[in-house]
């Protein structure tokens, strides 16, 4: 039996991932604002420290971490809060639990990116750059200059870049910890329900293209995450895997508009 930590475990992909891992006979320590083994607010440094401390009290070894907790970029949502939860909350869990991950003798972190990185033009790249500079106050200040719908992809791009940049370094793969990210498309979840009900964003999502003719299910992404956490996925380091029913392939059939293009590099 292995021990995993999943944040955002109360609903959506986090809940589905928890269910899949437990069905395999593994232990899952859940983290969320409610209905979790560890209740914590990942939007603040104090809340993140509390989450890490409580997990460390429950286990000395963590075989895998899935920071699923996140906020949608919907009308009226605080853009600064999206930055703090989506990027800094996730990275703080990974950094805080690095000793426990290293103790596993082979561990994995799967971050939650999004296909909006390449599928949604015009998002605020400067927010992603400030996230990667580890400057939360500056990232929050920059984020409030844009609508949260344009900040959400920036936080997800920053997570993908962080996995690629940090995944090959000594503190991570040097200690046997694989960093990767999964980039889901539109998934049947409370977050998607919130966006579909949004008077500005909802109509745009109704035209969302997929090759399979439907949105994804949380358990489909959870199955991929479980594989990425497993020893069978030992060759994947710094990878960003799309799971979006073909949406990105429809939008970019030959030359995907990667983040380097988006940044004007």
Please, which pLDDT band fits residue 263 given cuts at 50, 70 and 90?
A: very low
- CATH number for the domain that contains residue 138: 3.40.50.720
> pLDDT for 196-214, tens place per residue?
677 776 676 666 788 999 8
> pLDDT for 134-181, tens place per residue?
999 999 999 999 999 999 999 999 999 999 999 999 999 999 999 999
Question: Which range of residues forms the domain containing residue 42?
Answer: 3-262
- 242 part of the active site: no
Strand partners of residue 3: 27
What is the pLDDT at residue 215?
A: 86
Q: What percent of the chain has pLDDT over 90?
A: 79
Give pTM, 2 decimals: 0.92
Number of domains in the chain: 1
Catalytic position from the list 123, 152, 242, 259: 152
d(CA 14, CA 68): 5
The residues, any chain, with a CB within 8 Å of residue 110's CB and separated by 6 or more, are: 64, 65, 66, 180, 181, 182, 225, 228, 229
The angle subtended at Cα 208 by Cα 202 and Cα 209, nearest 5°, is 170
d(CA 99, CA 93): 11
Strand partners of residue 228: none
Residue 98's closest CA among 8, 183, 9, 179? 179
């Amino acid at each position: 039996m292995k021990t995993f930590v999943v944040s955002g475990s109360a609903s959506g992909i986090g809940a589905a991932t928890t269910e899949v891992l437990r069905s395999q006979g593994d232990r899952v320590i859940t983290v969320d604002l409610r209905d979790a083994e560890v209740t914590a607010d990942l939007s603040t440094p104090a809340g993140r420290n509390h989450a890490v401390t409580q997990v460390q009290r429950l286990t000395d070894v963590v075989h895998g971490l899935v920071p699923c907790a996140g906020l949608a970029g919907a009308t009226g949502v605080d853009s600064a809060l999206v930055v703090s939860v989506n990027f800094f909350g996730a990275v703080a869990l990974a950094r805080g639990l690095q000793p426990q991950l290293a103790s596993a003798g082979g561990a994995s972190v799967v971050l939650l990116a999004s296909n909006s990185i390449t599928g949604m033009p015009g998002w605020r790249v400067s927010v992603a750059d400030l996230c990667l500079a580890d400057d939360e106050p500056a990232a929050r200040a920059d984020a409030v200059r844009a609508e949260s719908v344009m900040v959400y992809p920036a936080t997800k791009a920053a997570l993908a870049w962080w996995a690629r940049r940090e995944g090959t370094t000594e503190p991570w793969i040097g200690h046997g910890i694989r960093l990767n990210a999964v980039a889901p498309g539109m998934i049947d979840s409370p977050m998607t329900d919130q966006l579909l009900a949004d008077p500005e964003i909802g109509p745009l999502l109704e035209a969302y293209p997929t090759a399979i003719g439907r949105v994804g299910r949380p358990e489909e992404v959870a199955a991929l995450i479980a594989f990425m956490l497993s020893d069978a996925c030992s060759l994947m380091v710094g990878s960003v895997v799309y799971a979006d029913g073909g949406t990105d392939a429809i939008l970019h059939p030959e030359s995907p508009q990667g983040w380097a293009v988006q940044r004007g590099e």
